[in-house]
Chain A
């Protein structure tokens, strides 16, 4: 009756041993962490500075995955940013205007003169002097439409041209908006990741959340404000034609133009064409350098399409200035000296060496395609995290000890077995958390404590059943067998329902709530495993050795 096949026994013990082995590094947290960091540096090609020695602090053949400590335990900054995707529509429309203008200008005989009218930022309103040709003009502009590049929008084109009274209204199509949003957020995500990586902090979390949000968590950083500085809020880098200079910000700019402040020369304003020649997205490289006068500058290089546009523009506009616009400010407005065919150029301005280096980094990492709005920010100081860990650790130990003593007092030898299983259980939870690289948060610790309390439940159910069977006069072996058999359905049903709530918590929650759901969910899995298999195996082994006629539970 009370038999468990050898292979099952081996399997059960192996799972336990494996789990505990995986949990082991967490017992030497700092040491393993130092080892991991040193190994990573060595792999990246660094050496010296005692790195080899640090790498030797933990044997390489041992598992070295650790439970990630969440921000609330380690300290750090958390930001939730919303990407202002609509800004890209505006940029697209600005970029489209010269094309539309050039196209219709060639047909001046039929459509007359073309004028840009004020409109919503994400649309172009174009007025013709010969309204009777408006349909024809619309058809011409429709020819500019490109197919949308996305999986879901097969066959759709990017712009919609409609006739509104006596003017053309050009907007982005719905499919194109969706595709653009997708690209913009992806790009912003990538750029944020690169910028944070340049600073070299450990294990940042940079995740997309929902349609247009990005969650950024960086452990070990001083404050959310610092993190925001690293990410920057740069909207766009572009190269625009200069129309003229202006005395103040309120100067009349004319349709299609705008007034921007100049960074250099202590003020002053430029009137520039809103439609850019080339945008920063087409930049492939930027390096700090020096101009012919030995002043700090930034040299840059465009991709082929950017190079072609830049080359054409410089060839046509020798002698006139063009503006390098970053973040809504004109950084520099050099005069085009000659045709620049190769797609590379140099930005001069009154930079310091440091400024030119920063600008190069910013340009190289790419400007953010759209602005960010920070919806949520949290800074948790490392000392608060340390206090929380300390308090959590003590609470865990006390909870653990209390439950162990209580179980032993209530069930004697069997309680002892349950206690061994409980210890294995907590080991398994940590092993699993390390394995999946889950993040342990403060509520997560609470989840573990709760699991410690609840984990014994399955054992209690079984033991109470065995008691009943003994009371009904069944033999020892039969009682144990029946106890497990009858308790099983209650154990399964009760734990599945709790597991369901853990899954829902995980799916719906974020941050700490998720951390709690993970430990709770894993805790249910391990406690069912230890209760059904491990304690049972221990009891069976004990029974085989002792062969008691009567058992006392």
Chain B
């Protein structure tokens, strides 16, 4: 007996309420944008400059004492958070300390880190500094820029590739789905305020890749069915195609999610934000390939009848039938 996540034959209508699903997604996109502008992202030092220090100590962490030790150094905004994780040992008490970039400094200053370390050692003698990272404001600005360019480039590359391999309506649908996924992911990061750093950009681009992977598989089937069934309406073809590929879509999403969830639970807190972005991306990406990419394709329509004479008719190549 095989494990089947999707019944053998499905004839679900995915577009009966396409206006509703598109509207719903549109609403989520708008919400994400609003959150992004109102609440912003919890940018890590990669994008904002500053210093993060990760400490470890066998003693229970007293955040207030840590704060009291650091505040007299006059470093501006200092945030101290205790980190809890199921993968930690009994006597592993971890905190993350973030210090803002100091005014008027382009580069990183070593003294700050040294002073903070000395102050903390006075409070907790057994404290160790397992990682110290500083990024100067000069670089962090550039990092934002390259990150944005990378995401835009990826979307452009995809747009061009699909346009070449399919038709422009497909490319438009795929890119709509991509933008949807990226915006919603940024929205979620804004809502839950998970630290947004360079690794998250990697996750975003992977989401772009994954979502696309999914969309392309559906589109490939649509293209095939368009050739096979010339008389059936586009809506029915889309529905058939999605139903036919549904089993695969779900299978792949589940295996990927299985792998990602084990990484999320067991992979430690350092990459949890990164993995969270990918899990979210897989779910949204799967949804968007059906309800955004295909729905956009349905709204745009696609040229069906290639037997009619087209603009090339009458020129010197018209007699050649490839």
Contacts and interface: CB of A to CB of B under 8 A. Distances in A.
Q: Is the interface of B mostly helix, strand, loop or mixed?
A: helix
Contacts of B87: 387, 391
Given A497-B209, A497-B216, A498-B209, A223 B132 contact: yes
Nearest to A78: B133
Given A395-B266, A494-B212, A501 B158 contact: yes
Contact of B259 (A72, A380, A402, A443): A402
A273 to B, nearest CB: 31
B71 interface: no
A375 B251 contact: no
Interface string A438-465: 0000110110011011101100110010
B107 A457 contact: no
A38 to B, nearest CB: 30
Interface string B186-221: 000000000000110110011011101110110111
B136 A376 contact: yes
A378 B134 contact: yes
B247 interface: yes
A495 to B, nearest CB: 7
B252 A460 contact: yes
Interface string A385-402: 001100110111011101
A356 B3 CA distance: 76
Interface stretch (A115-123, A142-150, A502-510): A502-510
Interface string A484-522: 001001100111111011101100110111001100100
Contact of A446 (B106, B146, B214, B274): B274
Contacts of A211: none
B271 A443 contact: yes
Interface in A138-162: none
Interface stretch (A91-99, A128-136, A407-415): A407-415
B108 interface: yes
Contact of A512 (B139, B198, B217, B220): B198
Contacts of A411: 2
B3 A508 contact: no
A381 interface: yes
A373 interface: yes
B78 interface: no
B290 to A, nearest CB: 15
A498 B209 CA distance: 4
A13 B262 CA distance: 31
A376 B135 contact: yes
Contact of B263 (A80, A446, A454): A446
Quick one: which of B113, B128, B205, B260 has the most chain A CB within 10 A? B205
A472 B5 CA distance: 21
Contact of A374 (B136, B209, B247): B136
B301 interface: no
A511 B58 CA distance: 31
Given A456-B255, A508-B146, A398 B266 contact: yes
Interface in A358-375: 373-375
A126 B247 CA distance: 82
A468 interface: yes
A450 B254 contact: no
Interface string A417-447: 0000000000000000000000000110110
Quick one: which of A395, A464, A500, A509 has the most chain B CB within 10 A? A395
B11 interface: no
A85 B209 CA distance: 40
Contacts of A442: 270-271
Contact of A501 (B208, B245, B254): B208
B153 interface: yes
B84 interface: no
A443 B217 contact: no
A375 B266 contact: no
A379 interface: yes
Given A391-B268, A494-B212, A379 B132 contact: yes
Contacts of A497: 158, 161-162, 209, 212-213, 216
B153 to A, nearest CB: 5
Interface in B140-188: 146-147, 149-150, 153-154, 157-158, 161-162, 165
A275 to B, nearest CB: 29
B254 A406 contact: yes
Contact of B275 (A394, A446, A454): A446
A478 B5 CA distance: 26
Interface in B81-98: 87
B64 to A, nearest CB: 25
Nearest to B165: A493
B202 A374 contact: no
Nearest to B250: A460
A80 B107 CA distance: 10
Quick one: which of A376, A456, A495 has the most chain B CB within 10 A? A376
Contact of A449 (B2, B213, B262): B262
Interface in B275-312: 275, 278
A395 B213 CA distance: 24
A92 to B, nearest CB: 24
A453 B199 contact: no
Contact of B202 (A380, A399, A494, A513): A513
Contacts of A263: none
A12 interface: no
B251 A501 contact: no
B138 interface: yes
Contacts of A80: 139
B138 A375 contact: yes
A434 to B, nearest CB: 22
B110 interface: yes
Interface in B105-145: 106-108, 110, 113-114, 128-136, 138-139
Contacts of B67: none
A399 B259 contact: yes
Quick one: which of B154, B161, B275 has the most chain A CB within 10 A? B154
A403 B107 contact: no
23 contacts: A80-B139, A373-B106, A379-B132, A383-B130, A384-B131, A395-B265, A403-B259, A410-B2, A411-B2, A456-B252, A456-B255, A457-B252, A460-B255, A486-B224, A490-B220, A501-B206, A501-B212, A504-B150, A505-B202, A508-B149, A509-B201, A517-B202, A552-B2
Given A224-B134, A392-B267, A453-B259, 18 more contacts: A224-B110, A375-B108, A376-B108, A377-B134, A391-B267, A399-B263, A402-B258, A402-B259, A410-B2, A443-B271, A443-B274, A445-B267, A464-B247, A494-B212, A494-B214, A494-B220, A504-B150, A512-B202
Interface of A: 72, 80, 82, 223-225, 228, 373-381, 383-384, 387-388, 391-392, 394-396, 398-400, 402-403, 406-407, 409-412, 442-443, 445-446, 449-450, 452-454, 456-457, 460-461, 464, 467-468, 486, 489-490, 493-498, 500-502, 504-505, 508-509, 511-513, 516-517, 520, 552
A-B pairs, top 7 by smallest CB distance, nearest first, are A453-B256, A453-B259, A391-B268, A399-B259, A498-B209, A508-B150, A490-B220
